[in-house]
Structure 1
């Protein structure tokens, strides 16, 4: 009787609590889970284990996860990569897909959404009924704008004037947008 191997899954994120949560959820779904908090760990684990699935955070501590896609694909050519981000934008989504990512998802995601991003279907049909469709939660343009503003504001250390210049909008317009509550997905 032959033993089936568990599919391997590499989770790359600098948020250790997210690594734990995704790791636990994926282990419960039958995956062998590898976790990396930085690009160096990620590339070493990918080279050694050649995972079938990779969850990659867009914004790692001091660099963009976009730069890792090509290297990960070279180390494990058959892996599927899903880019996760809290700072979604159309430009980074297009870049991620062009570089070889299979899908681009906005955080927070649950295990079902993540696996759906890979078009992963478990062997057990009862589990596949629980996977949600991506089209049920499209990200609105207003939400993308809010996230871009927040990302740019963070990149400029909270400086509203510098953020407004970088976004090409008037400072007062930006201040009004910042006073509003975050837009729902």
Structure 2
């Protein structure tokens, strides 16, 4: 079985994991190593860009929101340095609009956190145009509302005042909503 996995991964099994959640990235690195990858971790945009510049990997998993910036910067650099890199974007905030932007600039897929190692591996190795199975538990109405607010927020270039105006919502109310984690 390990040989089948090695063949599916190819000769270059290098994997870059960029996430500022240290316990998560360490667990994911260990799990991906057991699955045949050769992981290297970075906990910031700066560290991720440095690795992407000097040693662009065959595979990458990049969190969108990092403490020092946006993971999309790492995705763009990876796409420039290694066009064949298979990149999966993780988002802990359910920001579908941003995840779609990531796919447009070169990511092959995006996953909502928490994602387990099997989800990540399946996304990295997915080939072809097969459609994913429908979700077992679709989004709640609160989640759909959250997604809509996030989409408008991203379309307004993350300008709170403009987003509030377009949503016909008080700016302070919008700020409170944006400060919270996404509903289930």
Using structure 2 for the length normalisation, give the TM-score: 0.69
The DSSP-based 3-state class of the residue aligned with 1:51 is: coil
2:50 is the alignment partner of 1:44: yes
Deviation at residue 48 of structure 1 after TM alignment: 3.0
Larger Cα Rg: Structure 1 or Structure 2?
Answer: 1
Report the CA distance between 1:70 and its aligned residue: 1.4
Structure 1, unaligned stretches of length 5 or more? 122-132
Deviation at 1:119, TM superposition (A): 3.0
Q: Does 1:13 align with 2:12?
A: no
Q: Does 1:146 align with 2:150?
A: no
8 Å Cα contact 1:54-1:79 kept in structure 2: yes
Determine the structure 1 residue equivalent to 2:122: 116
For 1:27-106, what aligned pairs fall within 5 Å after superposition? 27-106=33-112
Conserved 8 A contact 2:63-2:89: yes
Cα-to-partner distance string for 1:47-100 (whole Å, 9 max, x where unaligned): 333211100001011311122221111122211111100112332122111111
The SS at the match of 2:20 is: coil
Provide the C-alpha distance between the structure 1 equivalents of 2:39 and 2:83, rounded to a whole number of angstroms: 18
The 1-side partners of 2:138 and 2:16 are apart by 25
Displacement of 1:138 in angstroms is: 6.8
| Structure 2 alignment gaps of length 5 or more | 1-5
Separation (CA, whole Å) in 2 of partners of 1:83 and 1:48: 21
Alpha carbon RMSD of aligned pairs, Å?
3.6
- Distance change (3 Å), C-alpha of 1:113 and 1:120: same
How many residue pairs get aligned? The number is 160
Q: Which residue of structure 2 aligns with residue 129 of structure 1?
A: none
Shift of 1:134: 5.8
The correspondence for 1:25, drawn from 28, 31, 49, is 31
